[in-house]
Amino acid sequence: MKESLLLIQHKLAEIPEFQYIDKNWGQLQFEQPPVKFPVALIDFDEGKYQQVSGAWQDGVAIITVVLAIDRSRPTSYQSPGNDDSYYMFDLIKKVHEKLNTLQAGIFEGLYRVGVRRTYSNRSFEEYTLYYQSVFNEYE
């Protein structure tokens, strides 16, 4: 799993807009998050494994990529630069282009299975992307 998360982190580093990319350990829960925006936070969310034979297991895992951008300036229709209101969707598209069908190591490919908007009272906008992959592990 570690190798998979590191590979995802390296692929996201190819997107120059990101100022901070890390494993998600709750950085956005702080009153003043210790990150620079835009940010991408990666983690393993859920996994289900079944025994194939001996020490061989197949699994299905969900990997999350949390994206957050700073929202400290006005973005209403009348504001100059109002196209910034939709900047998050540009980032989501770039992440998807890097991660969809990504294959390496023990996983057979990442496939997006969901996206969720997270609402908070903070000055940043946050979305979580969910990717699923099939893993093969031999212990």
Please give the full DSSP string across 78-132, using - where no structure is assigned: TSTTGGGGGHHHHHHHHHHHHHTT--BTTEEEEEEEEEEEE--SSSEEEEEEEEE
pLDDT of residue 73: 61
Query: pTM for this structure?
Result: 0.86
Type of residue found at 48: K
Kindly report which listed range (59-63, 107-111, 126-130) carries the lowest average pLDDT score.
107-111
Q: Decide if pLDDT at 81 tops 70.
A: no
Look up the CATH number of the domain holding residue 122: 3.30.2000.10
- Domain extent at residue 72: 2-138
Structural domain count of the chain: 1
- Range 56-74 average pLDDT: 85
Identity of the amino acid at 125: E
Mean per-residue pLDDT for 22-28?
Answer: 95
